[in-house]
Amino acid sequence: MGDRAAKDALFEGLSEVAKALSSGRRAEIIDVLAQGERSVEEIAGEIDQSVANTSHHLRALARAGLLTTRRDGTRIYYALASDRVGELWSAVRDVAEAHVAGLEKLAGAYLGDRDGIEIVDRDELAARLRRRNLIVLDVRPDAEYRAGHITGARSVPVGELRRHLQALPEGSDVVAYCRGPYCVYADDAVRELNRKGFRARRLIDGFPEWKRAGLPVAVGDP
């Protein structure tokens, strides 16, 4: 039978994953890397932190076994260690939604009023894509689109949406998606598209959830 000290050491080891995620910045990094591999500089830009601070967080996540690294010249790239890390992040979000008091209010303060934003679930979007009777816009940064996207989606980063509108057939049925349920890019795109007369909706969650569901994905440029 194991002794108390050995059991304590075991559970301390198991808790290293939770300790590594005990920071909002690190949780945000996991959310970004769930989209695909990124360089330290790109991650720093996404989370609005210095490269030095970002590197500190990345090393902590890597020490806990949640990230892997590779070097390309002078640049270091990070990626999730496995799909299970993405599943862990999704489970953390689900538990927080169900049990953390005030989370809905925090989400509303960030995402804004969603009353006028229609959603589409994954099954309906997959069926519509098979029939090819709608346009799907990936409004994440281009690097994330190239790392992996819904098959048939067009890359239109949200900051470039307005200049792409003239290429969309008038009156088109459009679905926008981004990183997940707390990604504001798709909401912003849907609001802009609706203002311009399109029937626009957002995917209920994002690309990582689509991929985990085993639905069609593609890599690289269209």
Catalytically active residues are 178
Hey, how many other C-beta atoms are within 10 angstroms of the C-beta on 34? Answer: 24
Measured from the Cβ of residue 27, the count of other Cβ atoms closer than 10 Å reads 17
- What is the C-alpha separation between 16 and 100, in angstroms, rounded? 22
Read off the DSSP letter of residue 82.
S
DSSP string, 26-69: HHHHHHHHTT--EEHHHHHHHHT--HHHHHHHHHHHHHTTSEEE
Tokens standing for residue 32: 């970004």
Residue 159 backbone phi and psi in degrees, to 5 = -70, -15
H/E stretch holding 167:
none
